[in-house]
Amino acid sequence: MEHQPEPATVADDPQARDLLRRAFEATARWQKDFKGFTADLTVNVNGKETSGPVIVKSPREVSVQLGDGETQKWAQEQLGMIAVHRGPRSFEESDGKYSLTMEEDGHPFGTKLIIHGSNSFYRIKDNRITQINRKMAHPGMNPFAFTINVEESAITQDQKNLTTKYTVYYYSPTDSKLTNVESFTDTHVRVGSSDLPATRRIITYEDGQVVVKHLTFKNHKLL
């Protein structure tokens, strides 16, 4: 799964662009006029529960009030990530701004779609993004890479794909050693014309043990 160095300019493949655009447009997102929501959150980490209110307006405007500071910070990051993935945006604003090419290699997860200039490639099958591969290098941070495998998804009332189960494999891009695995299982609740998070379970490995974290959202209200 090594991402090979690429030429500075790669000719865009219109077929690849069409394939990714169709998958992008078939993915569930909050509607353009979405203002956010409030809910009551309970977080259970290996049996230890904390509860409190949350407000989500945008990826950068997430407020979580929990009794435990560490859990609160973690829950805030989770909600920020959900808001990034579900927030309204156009294809041109996201992966459409890169040169795109594709390869058919017979993989069970479908066509390989390379996003040049972003250190990423996806796989697409049946108008769904089934796998995301990315390498990250931020100043002051150790470089890391991950592969997300989308295992299950639901169809919303708007006939869009909404991921319900996925697993993330984290590894070192220098020696390709696996560093962690996180398994996500999500459920959603329809409020008005929005599909909001209802539960999220994450199974991960931390400090020598498998940790199960469970978020439950109740009493949703749209802003």
Q: How far apart are CA 44 and CA 71, in angstroms?
A: 9
Q: Is 59 exposed, middle or buried (0-12, 13-18, 19+ CB in 10 A)?
A: middle
Structural element, H or E, at residue 25: helix 14-25
- E strands within the chain? 37-45, 48-58, 61-64, 99-103, 111-116, 120-125, 128-136, 144-155, 161-171, 178-191, 194-206, 209-222
Q: How far apart are CA 64 and CA 218, in angstroms?
A: 14
For the chain, list residues with pLDDT below 70: 1-8
Quote the pLDDT of residue 2. 47
Q: Bin 15: left if φ > 0, else alpha if -120 < ψ < 50, else beta.
A: alpha
Question: Smallest Cα–Cα separation from 54: which of 27, 18, 29, 79?
Answer: 79
User: By the 8 A CB rule, do 181 and 210 touch?
Assistant: no
Q: How far apart are CA 199 and CA 213, in angstroms?
A: 11
